[in-house]
Amino acid sequence: MITTEVTLIELASLMKKAAGVSVDPKDLEKSSDSPFGTLGLDSLGLLGIVGELENRYSHPLPPDAERCKTPREFLDLVNNTLKSGA
Amino acid sequence: MTTQRTQRPRRAAITGIGVIAPNGLRADAYWKSVREGLVVLDRITREGCEHLPLRIAGEVRAFDAAALIEERFLVQTDRFSHFAMAATVLALDDAGLGHGDPADPYDIGVITAAGSGGGEFGQRELQKLWGQGSRYVGPYQSIAWFYAASTGQISIRGGFKGPCGVVASDEAGGLDSIALAARGVRRGTGAVVVGSAEAPLAPYSMVCQLGYPEISTAEDPGQAYRPFTAGACGFAPAEGGAMLVVEDETRARERGAAVRATVAGHGATFTGASRWERSREGLAHAIRGALDEAGCAPEEIDVVFADALGVPEADRAEALAIADALGKHGTRVPVTAPKTGIGRAYCGAPVLDTAAAVLAMENGQVPPTPNVFDICHDLDLVMSSARPAELQTALVLSRGLMGSNAALVVRRGGDSAR
Answer whether A47 touches B (CB < 8 Å).
Answer: yes
Nearest to B135 among A20, A21, A51 (CB): A51
Residue window 84-113, chain B: list those with CB within 8 Å of chain A: none
**Looking at CA atoms only, how far is residue A55 from chain B in angstroms?**
7
Q: How far is CA B52 from CA B56, B201, B235, B393, in A?
A: 11, 11, 16, 42
What's the CATH fold of domain A8-85?
A: 1.10.1200
Residues in chain A with CB shorter than 8 Å from the CB of B73 are 20
Residue A3 has pLDDT above 80, yes or no: no
Q: Give the model's pLDDT for residue B417.
A: 41
The 10s digit of each residue's pLDDT in B201-216 is: 999 999 999 999 999 9
Residue B97 has pLDDT above 70, yes or no: yes
Looking at the structure, do residues B206 and B122 belong to the same domain, yes or no?
yes
Residues above pLDDT 90, as percent of chain B = 95
Residues in chain B with CB shorter than 8 Å from the CB of A54 are 135
The answer to whether the Cβ–Cβ distance between B139 and A44 falls below 8 Å is yes
The 10s digit of each residue's pLDDT in B40-80 is: 999 999 999 999 999 999 999 999 999 999 999 999 999 99
DSSP state of B135: G
Q: Count of domains in chain B?
A: 2
Residues in chain B with CB shorter than 8 Å from the CB of A19 are 72, 75-76
The 10s digit of each residue's pLDDT in A16-63 is: 999 999 999 999 999 999 999 999 999 999 999 999 999 999 999 999
Closest CA to B242 of B31, B4, B6: B31
Nearest CA in chain A to B71: A20
CA B90 to CA B101: how far, in whole Å? 16
* B351-368 average pLDDT score: 98
* B231-235 average pLDDT score: 98
Nearest CA in chain A to B132: A55
DSSP state of B231: T
Beta strand B365-366 with B387-388: parallel, antiparallel or unpaired?
A: antiparallel
Collect all residues with Cβ–Cβ distance below 8 Å to B361 and sequence separation of at least 6: B261, B302, B303, B391, B392, B394, B410, B412, B416
Looking at the structure, do residues B244 and B269 belong to the same domain, yes or no?
no
B347 in a structural domain:
yes
* B145-150 average pLDDT score: 96
Question: What residues does B294 pair with on adjacent strands?
Answer: none
B418 in a structural domain:
no
Looking at the structure, do residues B9 and B131 belong to the same domain, yes or no?
yes
Looking at the structure, do residues B271 and B177 belong to the same domain, yes or no?
no
Nearest to A54 among B71, B135, B138 (CB): B135
Beta strand B261-270 with B12-20: parallel, antiparallel or unpaired?
A: antiparallel
Looking at the structure, do residues B196 and B288 belong to the same domain, yes or no?
no
What's the whole-number average pLDDT of chain B?
Answer: 95
Contacts 24+ apart (CB under 8 A), B134-139: B135/A51, B135/A54, B135/A55, B136/A51, B136/A55, B138/A18, B138/A48, B138/A51, B139/A44, B139/A45, B139/A47, B139/A48, B139/A51
Residue type, position B407, single letter = A
Virtual torsion, Cα B315, B319, B322, B323, nearest 10 deg: -160
Looking at the structure, do residues B312 and B211 belong to the same domain, yes or no?
no
Q: Where are the domains of chain A?
A: 8-85
Contacts 24+ apart (CB under 8 A), B185-188: B185/B10, B185/B12, B185/B246, B185/B247, B185/B248, B186/B9, B186/B10, B186/B11, B186/B12, B187/B10, B188/B10
Nearest to B71 among A20, A44, A54 (CB): A20
CA A27 to CA A10: how far, in whole Å? 13
Nearest to A40 among B72, B74, B140 (CB): B72
Looking at the structure, do residues B142 and B171 belong to the same domain, yes or no?
yes
Q: Give the model's pLDDT for residue A2.
A: 52
Residue B416 has pLDDT above 50, yes or no: no
Looking at the structure, do residues B62 and B109 belong to the same domain, yes or no?
yes
The answer to whether the Cβ–Cβ distance between A20 and B70 falls below 8 Å is yes
Looking at the structure, do residues B236 and B312 belong to the same domain, yes or no?
no
What ipTM was reported for this prediction? 0.88
Nearest CA in chain B to A41: B72
Collect all residues with Cβ–Cβ distance below 8 Å to B417 and sequence separation of at least 6: none
Distance of CA B224 to the CA centre of its chain: 20
CA B237 to CA B260: how far, in whole Å? 29
Note whether B225 and B236 are within 8 A (CB).
yes
Beta strand B303-305 with B42-43: parallel, antiparallel or unpaired?
A: unpaired
Looking at the structure, do residues B211 and B320 belong to the same domain, yes or no?
no
The 10s digit of each residue's pLDDT in B274-325 is: 999 999 999 999 999 999 999 999 999 999 999 999 999 999 999 999 999 9
Q: What length does chain A have?
A: 86
Residues in chain A with CB shorter than 8 Å from the CB of B138 are 18, 48, 51
CB pairs under 8 A between A and B: 36
Q: Give the model's pLDDT for residue B8.
A: 74
Radius of gyration of chain A (CA): 12
Nearest CA in chain A to B140: A44
The answer to whether the Cβ–Cβ distance between A48 and B140 falls below 8 Å is yes
Nearest to B138 among A16, A48, A54 (CB): A48
The answer to whether the Cβ–Cβ distance between B72 and A18 falls below 8 Å is no
Final residue of a structural domain among B254, B284, B314 = B254
Closest CA to B219 of B53, B51, B23, B38: B53
Final residue of a structural domain among B221, B254, B287 = B254
Closest CA to B242 of B300, B196, B208: B196
Q: How far is CA B352 from CA A28, B160, B330, B332, in A?
A: 44, 23, 23, 24
Answer whether B292 touches A (CB < 8 Å).
Answer: no
B151 in a structural domain:
yes
Beta strand B42-43 with B56-57: parallel, antiparallel or unpaired?
A: antiparallel
**Looking at CA atoms only, how far is residue B75 from chain A in angstroms?**
6
The answer to whether the Cβ–Cβ distance between A20 and B138 falls below 8 Å is no
Residue B253 pLDDT class (50, 70, 90 cuts): very high
Residue B369 pLDDT class (50, 70, 90 cuts): very high
Closest CA to B412 of B340, B358, B372: B358
- CATH code for the domain of B313: 3.40.47.10
Q: Give the model's pLDDT for residue B177.
A: 98
Closest CA to B264 of B394, B414, B94: B394
Considering the entire predicted model, what is its pTM?
0.95
Final residue of a structural domain among B254, B279, B300 = B254
Looking at the structure, do residues B199 and B280 belong to the same domain, yes or no?
no
Looking at the structure, do residues B52 and B73 belong to the same domain, yes or no?
yes
Q: What range defines the domain where residue B382 resides? A: 263-412
Other Cβ atoms within 10 Å of B10 Cβ, number:
17
**Looking at CA atoms only, how far is residue A44 from chain B in angstroms?**
6
Residue A85 has pLDDT above 80, yes or no: no
B126 in a structural domain:
yes
Q: Give the model's pLDDT for residue B264.
A: 98
B417 in a structural domain:
no
Output the DSSP codes for chain A.
-------HHHHHHHHHHHH-----HHHHHHTTTS-HHHHT--HHHHHHHHHHHHHHHT----GGGGG--SHHHHHHHHHHHHHHH-
Closest CA to B393 of B323, B309, B305, B313: B305
CA B224 to CA B302: how far, in whole Å? 29
B169 in a structural domain:
yes
Q: Give the model's pLDDT for residue B335.
A: 98
* A63-74 average pLDDT score: 95
